[in-house]
Amino acid sequence: MGKGPIGIELVRRGLITENDILKALEYQKENPDKKITEILSILNLCNEYSLIEALGDILDERAIVLTQADVALNITDYISIDIARKNKAIPFEISGNRIKVCFSDTLNKKSTDTIRLILLNKGLIMEKYITFEKNINNILDSYNSTDSEKIDSTADVTGIVDSVIKTGIKKRASDIHIEPMEDTIRVRYRIDGRLVSETKIPKNKQTQIIGRLKAISNMFQEKTQSQDGRILLYPDYNIRVSSQENIYGEKFVLRLLKKNMNIKGFDDLGLTANEKELKKSFDKRNSITVIAAPTGEGKTTTLYSIIDYLNKPEINITTIEDPVEIRIPGLNQIEITEKLRFSDSLRTVLRQDPDIILVGEIRDKETAEIAVRAGQTGHYVLSTIHTLDSIEVITRLRKMGLSNYDISSTLGTAVSQRLVRKLCKHCAKEREFTPEEIEIITKIGNKYGVEFDLKGKHTYQAAGCKECNGTGYLERIGIFEILPMTDDLKEIVAKDGSTMEIKEVAFKEGYRPLVIDGINKVLDGITTLEEIDRKLVL
């Protein structure tokens, strides 16, 4: 098919009207440096995703609406911010020796060749993409705001380490990574689940930085093997420190745990079930409730919320944790040490007349067996386990060596969860669902017997602003699936039913997988389909 000027081609495809072109041309008189497609996006005269897809087709280029969430590398490891601005280009993903780079103008051969040669000198082959200039500017602006907070490398080592930690606290980071590289020390922060490169410290400071971190973490200075420590210098934070030797020196990861952190209610967690369903799932006796998810997906936070929901003066609650992350008034909280294991503590706790026992994690057969025994003798046990979904909890307990009888008689509820980033309310831009998105949602609904009401529904684009560091997302929320162990499910488990047989019964009983809750949160404007896809692969 022949393709004419971009504006005419877009009209021909029905994406815009001739009147839209006139509005864009009027805007261009005041902003002659802006291209028509950029103006159409700025004036919101066309759905951005449809526009960029059409632009890619017209120019025969790969196209993407680039956001900070798509940038899976540290830009400055490959090109400087000045070069990125000058050439309106951003490297955003690398695999092996191939690196993807977004340009605002792929027809500008001087710019594309400049970036291609820089990357080629680093042994990388460039894959070219096109995006809107404003998307590139938003991402680079977020780097500028970061640059303004860069650590003063001329400060003394105490000031540098203090600045690294205080910046992490200010940015709401859950973890700080201080990583010796070949010729520098890289500092990265995990914010809302994503690692963000923050700054670099000169390599000649490495010995002093390591010494300072060990001193304030109460670690052995001369020991280079892995160590664990704790920083207690910041009044509101209990900072766990882990060191690990690599080929360029010792890497440190600091986990920032806020003291007296407010416990989230079920709504804030993202658990949207009604009070009756929650009571049915989390207010039990003679049973175990297990929260299942990979590491870093908020299992402990959910446990705390359930405990807070159940906590009453007439109930004796004891927790066994590694470590105690939040101190809750009225609870008996025990912290695991190298000499005190979960199973050892659990045996002792059973002699302390508890009503409810929280076991931080079921890690082995011994802990699982004692937890089952506690559940079978009148206690309510809450714990976590590492599995991908709630049905796999049964499989995991079987592999630990528990009998089908013990599982079916004791497991009360299995919950699986993931954390997804919430749209930043300050910059999210409303848009229509694309036909492809509607198709994905409809297919998932059909697969699981759920009818999603898309009539009059909109979604949002993660745009990026200073409030969210240019990512378009601010804070996280859980998506959940809950599997109450009904009589029919207990029966199929007791009969050694396969995972497929258990799933079949579960669906009949009303079980729905994580993706259903995820899509409902997209339809409610809380998150995006891209976020759900990032966690679950739609």
**pLDDT reported for residue 152:** 60
- 332 and 478, same domain (yes or no): yes
Q: Of 258, 286, 306, which residue constitutes the final position of a domain? A: 258
User: Residue 149 has what pLDDT?
Assistant: 46
CATH number where 207 lies: 3.30.450.90
The pLDDT tens digits of the residues spanning 456-467 come to 888 998 887 878
How many Å apart are CA 106 and CA 174, to the nearest integer? Answer: 38
Tell me, what DSSP letter sits at residue 203? G
Domain check: are 116 and 200 in the same one?
no
The three-state secondary structure class of 233 is coil
- Is the Cβ–Cβ distance between 66 and 72 less than 8 Å? no
Tell whether 431 and 482 lie within a shared domain. yes
The answer on 108 and 234 residing in a single domain is no
Q: What is the pLDDT at residue 480?
A: 95
Look at residues 81, 112, 141 and tell me which one is the last residue of a structural domain.
Answer: 141
pLDDT confidence of residue 153: 59
Domain end (from 141, 160, 178): 141
Do 289 and 415 fall within a single domain?
A: yes
- Shared domain check, 382 and 289: yes
Q: Answer whether 424's CB lies under 8 Å from 474's CB.
A: yes
pLDDT in tens, 480-504: 999 999 999 999 999 999 999 999 9
pLDDT value of residue 147: 43
Torsion-angle region of 123 (φ positive above 0: left; ψ -120 to 50: alpha; else: beta): left
d(CA 372, CA 384): 14
Q: What is the pLDDT of residues 10-21, one digit of tens each?
A: 888 787 888 888
Q: Which residues of the chain fall below pLDDT 50?
A: 1-2, 145-149
What is the pTM (predicted TM-score) of this model?
0.70
Q: What range defines the domain where residue 459 resides?
A: 266-536
In a shared domain, residues 530 and 400: yes
Are residue 234 and residue 284 in the same domain, yes or no?
A: no
Pair (212, 285) in one structural domain: no
**In this predicted structure, what is the pLDDT of residue 275?**
67
359 and 327, same structural domain?
yes
CATH code, domain carrying 65: 3.30.300.160
Report the pLDDT value the prediction gives residue 419, as an integer from 0 to 100. Answer: 96
Q: Are residues 273 and 403 in the same domain?
A: yes
Q: How many domains does the chain have?
A: 3
1 in a domain, yes or no? Answer: no
Are 300 and 426 part of one and the same domain?
yes
* Torsion angle (degrees, nearest 10) of CA 118, 123, 125, 129: -40
